[in-house]
Amino acid sequence: MKDNNYLRIILLFIIVLACKLILLPFVQIDDSDAVARIFSGISWKENPEWILSNFWCPFHFYLIGIGLFIWNDPVYMPMLIHVVISAFTLVPFYFLVRREFNDKGAYIATVFLAICPMLFRNSYLALSETPYLFFLVLSLNFLSKGLRNNSYRYILYSGLSITIASGFRYEAWIMIFVISLIIILIKQWKFLPVFLISALIFPISWLYTNWLATGNPFYGIQGNYYWTIVEMGNNKNLHFSNYLRRIWFFPFSWIIAVGIPAGVVIVGTIFKMFTNKPVKKINFIHILPLLGMFGVMQYNAFKGVLLLQHRFVGTLAVLSLPFVSEYFKEYTQKKVRLAWLFGIITVALSFVYNTPTIKPLPRLQNQSFVGISKLIGNNISRDSFLVIDNVGWNNTFYLALHSRIPNKNIILMGDAMNSYVPLKEIRQKLYSQNEGILVLKKNSEIYNSMYLNDLKNPCNGKYFKEIFADDNILLLKQYFPEEKAKK
């Protein structure tokens, strides 16, 4: 039986990984955060160092940078890293659910995790959620094994896994508290020091290095707050409908992630666990991580410090899908058919909902930018500069990534409410480099400030020619005629 368990999860791993690799050529990185993280990974590769402070936790930059040392392709190497990690996540998840719930249902729950549209999508993007979830699941699996086998070694492994997860995302910091609470509730006090000492290695060191670098140990956490509240203006001009959306967004996002049928089963299973008397302590232990994380997300969303983005729901999906195993703990013909039906409905509905960033395969909403990207590539070299106006978060960063020119030669405009427009830096690029591309949004601040003045006239003998234009966008190429250069 043990051999069959290993065989089927290995087979599922191979199938999922093969499917994702086959679909790789059809993927378009349509997330600005993913591109920003790739750029940070490139910067770290060019100048490897132990990062002392940042708004984002640093382990993700190390992961991408190390990958680029192996294969220096900023588009495909990050995707490959995350696709492989996402497939590996299925293995500890399966053994965790099998141990804590049941054997047969664990496999169905793992299949549902594999086809979860949002996690499938995120696995192609260089987002920290994917490695964070892997180490979170690994930590929970080690915790389960350690508690059931009375093993200090596995508790130590659990702590080390969650401290690595905390180096990818701050959600892991919350899970450190939740896991500690679980250990206390089951009165396994002897394991608490082992877990905490190992789990807090990164959080404590990160607070300390932030204090050394900035004088503020909470610089990273507060930096995220500053971006959301100040730069994005997330709490400005709010109406009653905005607060309602903050209340229903993540529950709605969760039901999309796990699927409506599985969502109904999960809620029903949890309800049954707490209505059947007597209520078992183990049921409360199983639900505690899900309720804790859901409560924190709802609070921060309502407060406005957590942006309403579907990709943040990954933790809720991972913590809730184990409850599906209770419904599928017996393999009857009816249950097998229902499992197939649940999966088909979940994937199919992800293409139907009228909300972005939930389809399993990431692709730009405006496909014209793929053509614009190719046009830029045909008119640019690694020594060129590239200025991209705010043409939408995802479009702007997509063009930057696919230009494949050094980060130092790229200037991007953000789409935040209070984004800084670096007109001085742009003018410096125009005068200091001989060739480059400007992607301008018509009637933007750059367009109105520069196009009608700087760009219509030669800059130190450098000229601009239009290579693309439509109703919204203008592409200009700066060049330095050979006859001018000779003079």
Whether 14 is covered by a domain: the verdict is yes
- Pick from 204, 66, 198: nearest CA to 135: 198
The pairing of beta strand 463-469 with beta strand 473-479: antiparallel
Residue 384: the pLDDT is 87
- The amino acid that residue 386 corresponds to is L
Q: How many helices (H) and strands (E) does the chain have?
A: 23, 5
CA angle 320, 323, 324 (to 5 degrees): 105
Which residue is associated with the tokens 């992961």? 63
Contact 310, 357 (CB under 8 A): yes
- Regarding whether 376 and 338 lie in a shared domain, the answer is no
More confident residue, 428 or 322: 322
- Pick from 426, 435, 443, 442: nearest CA to 465: 435
Q: Which of 322, 349, 376 is the last residue of a domain?
A: 349
More confident residue, 370 or 485: 370
Q: Is the pLDDT of residue 263 over 70?
A: yes
Which backbone phi and psi does 481 adopt, to 5 degrees?
Answer: -55, 140
User: By percentage, how much of the chain surpasses pLDDT 90?
Assistant: 68
Record the tokens describing residue 72, joined without a space.
């220096």
- Regarding whether 388 and 341 lie in a shared domain, the answer is no
CA distances from 360 to 90, 94, 160, 196 (A): 17, 21, 31, 37
Whether 357 is covered by a domain: the verdict is no
- Regarding whether 378 and 328 lie in a shared domain, the answer is no
Q: Kindly report the pTM of this predicted structure.
A: 0.94
Which backbone phi and psi does 439 adopt, to 5 degrees?
Answer: -105, 110
Whether 197 is covered by a domain: the verdict is yes
Query: Is 113 buried (19+), middle (13-18) or exposed (0-12) by CB count in 10 A?
Result: buried
Q: For 199-244, what is each residue's pLDDT tens digit? A: 999 999 999 999 999 999 999 888 877 778 877 778 888 899 999 9
Whether 355 is covered by a domain: the verdict is no
Domain holding 427, by residue range, is 368-486
**Cα separation, 150 vs 167, whole angstroms:** 27
Which backbone phi and psi does 463 adopt, to 5 degrees?
Answer: -115, 165
Whether 360 is covered by a domain: the verdict is no
Whether 54 is covered by a domain: the verdict is yes
Residue 223: the pLDDT is 81
Mean pLDDT of 62-70: 97
Mean pLDDT of 264-268: 95
73 DSSP 8-state letter: -
Helix-helix angle 76-100:129-149, to 10 degrees: 30
